[in-house]
Amino acid sequence: MMQQLRESASYIQAQTGNFEPEFGIILGTGLGALVKEIEIEHSLNYADIPHFPVSTVESHSGRLILGQLSGRRVVVMQGRFHFYEGYDMNQVVHPVRVMKLLGVPKLFISNACGGLNPAFNTSDLMVITDHINLQPSNPLIGPNLDELGPRFPDMSDVYDEKMVRQAMVIAEDAGFDLREGVYASVPGPMLETKAEYNYLARIGADAVGMSTVPEAIAARHMGMKVFGISVITDMCTPDRIKKVILSDILEAAAVAEPRMTMLIRELIRQQ
C-alpha cells in the first residue's frame, strides 16, 4: 500500500514540478464552485493518476486541482470517493494519504447532508465539531502503516477547535448564521428511513451523510489538522421529511455554495 501511495505522489510531483501544497480540500456533492476561485496551475484527471480510484457519482467531476487560493498553495479534490461505490476504505482515503505525502498539514472536508437538528434549515452551513462513525469499516483496520501514524490514534479532537472558532467569527462578520454540530456517517447509498432518522437524532447526530468520516480518520491518523463543513440539503426531522432526489440536493447546495466558498477562502487566508 505504501508503494502505491508513493507512486501516486511521485506522479503528481512529476506532473506539477514538485508543487508543494499547504492545504488539501475535498469538495462534496454539488460543491465544486470553489474551483472558480482558484488560480489553477495544474489539473489532473483521477484516471491518469496511478492507483487513484475514479468517481462514479454524476455530480463529482473527478479531477485533482493544484493552484493558489487566497495566496496559499492548495490541492483540491473535485469529486470524492464513497464506500457505497464499491471501493474499500483504503481506496476511499487513498487521495488523503497522498496529500500527506505531498506535504499537506491541514485538510478541509465539505459535504452535502441531511439535517437532523430541528433548529436547522435547508441550505444552512454546519461546521462539524465531532462525528459518529456508522460506516461498516474504517481505513485503519488491517496492518498499521507505521510510516503514516500510530496503531491506536486518539480521536477525541478530530476537528480542529481553533479553525472552528475562526469560522464562527468569519460567518458572524459576514452576517450569516453558521451552525455547529455532530455529523453521522452512514454507508448509503439509499437515504434513511424515518425510524433511522429518529435513531440518529437520539444518539446525538445533528446531520447525516455518506462521507467525510473515513477521510477525517485517515487524516488524524497522520497528524493532519481537519476542518469539516456540511451543507444541509434536506431536513430529516419528523415534521419535515419529504422524498428527495439528487436535483433537490444539488439545488439546495447551490444556494449555500457562495457562503461556503467565502468561508473556506477566508479561513485559508487566516491560517
Tens-binned pLDDT, residue by residue, of the chain (271 aa) = 999 999 999 999 999 998 999 999 999 877 778 899 999 999 999 999 999 988 766 555 689 999 999 999 999 999 899 999 999 999 999 999 999 999 999 999 999 999 999 999 999 999 999 999 999 999 999 999 999 999 999 999 999 999 999 999 999 999 999 999 999 999 999 999 999 999 999 999 999 999 999 999 999 999 999 999 999 999 999 999 989 888 888 899 899 999 999 999 999 999 9
Contacts by 57-63, CB closer than 8 A, 24 or more apart: 57/29, 57/82, 57/85, 58/246, 59/29, 59/30, 59/32, 59/246, 59/250, 60/29, 61/32
Q: Give the count of domains, the chain.
A: 1
Domain that holds residue 34: 2-270
Q: pTM of the entire structure?
A: 0.95
CATH number at residue 147: 3.40.50.1580
